[in-house]
Amino acid sequence: MFRSQVIAGILSLCGFLAWATGTKAEEPKRPAVAENPAGLRIVEHGNSWYSENCEPLCKAAGITGHRKIPGAGTVEKLTPFLEKGEVDAFVLGKTDIGMEKMLLSTLMELGPKHNPNFRGVFIQMPWLVGDGRWAFLGTEKASRPQDVKSPEEYETTDLAEYQTKMEKYRKQQEAYVDEVNAKAGKRVVFLVPLGDGMLEVRKMIVAGKFPGVTKVSGSVLGGDIMPHQGPLGKRLGAYMHFAALYRMSPEGLKFPGKEGDGLPDDQRAILQKLAWDMVSKYPYAGIAKYEPSAPSKDEK
């Protein structure tokens, strides 16, 4: 039913505020240190867009026991860990989630069965390859971004048009999650709206409201044609994954070490607040009140 290519993205700040209002979501508060959860044992499966990086934030928050289980991103390698109840969460950072049905099926079946504290599968919702300038030439491998000759062209993207494209794909992603969760009989799969967060930062930059940054390419985006995420995109991704996995705000947390996260305080504060606002108010991320979306006429 649902297929996803290496494109994606989703919602805007207006969009998720509308959902929050429609679902009567209440903004959760960050737990006190004494209420910090135990560290999670996570397995990850991602590509070059993958942005989970909770470990330094866990250290800053005083959360102990967070660790990644290496080399378990396939069904064969993952199954033994699931059967032993050693996986608390799975983070899927690939954009082709429609091609991961066997992996998701195994996680939904074995995760809760062998671990009563299994948190779920968290899918990183990406941004659009080529900002939506994309042509399909028969197969996914033959697909390529069109009309993007230089990363500088991303400075002129019509963000309203781009947002519309992301919202269309968001609905497909949400419908897919509704479908797999319905089969599981409970909520096991969640969405982390990173692509939307990156769009919001881009809007701030264009409006001159993001301190110290005047260009999208090389900051939010990585300065290549695809585009990959830049340093702001990567940090926002780390904050969003932390918020979704631990259900607590990253606000005020700094990466340990002399260099930290490499951001000035004002930029960090903006990204951390945005991460918590979007994750905590987006019903599919696992914190706000959730109601499955109604199928469209085409889906009935």
Q: Does the bond joining 264 to the residue before it have cis omega, within 30 degrees of 0?
A: no
Give yes or no for residue 224 having a pLDDT over 50. Answer: yes
For residue 132, give the nearest of 2, 49, 9 by alpha carbon. Answer: 9
Predicted local confidence at residue 30, as pLDDT? 47
* Amino acid (1-letter code) at residue 49: W
Which stretch of 74-88, 91-105, 130-144 has the lowest confidence by average pLDDT?
A: 130-144
- What pLDDT, in 10s, does the model give residues 173-222? 899 889 888 988 889 999 999 999 999 999 999 999 999 999 999 999 99
What percent of the chain clears pLDDT 90, i.e. is strictly above it?
58
* Amino acid (1-letter code) at residue 31: P
90, 134, 151, 174, 250 from 1: Cα distances, Å: 23, 21, 34, 12, 36
Q: Where are the domains of the chain?
A: 13-285
Predicted local confidence at residue 73, as pLDDT? 83
- What pLDDT, in 10s, does the model give residues 18-30? 444 444 444 444 4
Give yes or no for residue 64 having a pLDDT over 80. Answer: yes
3-state secondary structure of 98: helix
19, 29, 170, 225, 227 from 133: Cα distances, Å: 27, 39, 17, 11, 11
- Domain 13-285 fold: Rossmann fold (3.40.50)
Predicted local confidence at residue 291, as pLDDT? 76
Residue 237 backbone dihedrals phi, psi, to 5 degrees: -60, -40
Give the helix/strand (H/E) hosting 122: strand 120-124
Predicted local confidence at residue 257, as pLDDT? 86
Give the helix/strand (H/E) hosting 300: none
Give yes or no for residue 263 having a pLDDT over 70. Answer: yes
The residue count for the chain: 300
Quick one: average pLDDT of 125-139? 71
The overall average pLDDT reported for the chain is 83
Specify the higher pLDDT residue, 234 or 14. 234
- What pLDDT, in 10s, does the model give residues 73-95? 889 999 999 999 999 999 998 65
Predicted local confidence at residue 260, as pLDDT? 87
